[in-house]
Amino acid sequence: IRVLRENIVIYEGELESLRRFKDAVDEVRSGTECGIGVKNYNDVKVGDQIEVFERVEMERVL
């Protein structure tokens, strides 16, 4: 997960939790409200952008 403020990355780390209402979920559809917990970060401000991505390691083929 990345937190951007004024298009500058101010934090990069792990997503700790994702909730839809009071239920813990693995994914949420685009445009749907949800709550997130960010591991070791609690300074989110109005206007911040949150990018969530998955890193996948792939074996290189020559």
Q: pLDDT tens for residues 18-38? A: 999 989 998 888 889 999 888
Nearest CA-CA partner of 49 in 1, 4, 2: 4
Answer yes or no: is pLDDT of 62 > 90: no
Give residue 47's pLDDT: 94
Mean residue pLDDT across the chain: 91
pLDDT of 42 above 90: no
pLDDT for the residue 53: 87
For residue 39, what are the CA distances in angstroms to 3, 16, 18?
12, 5, 11
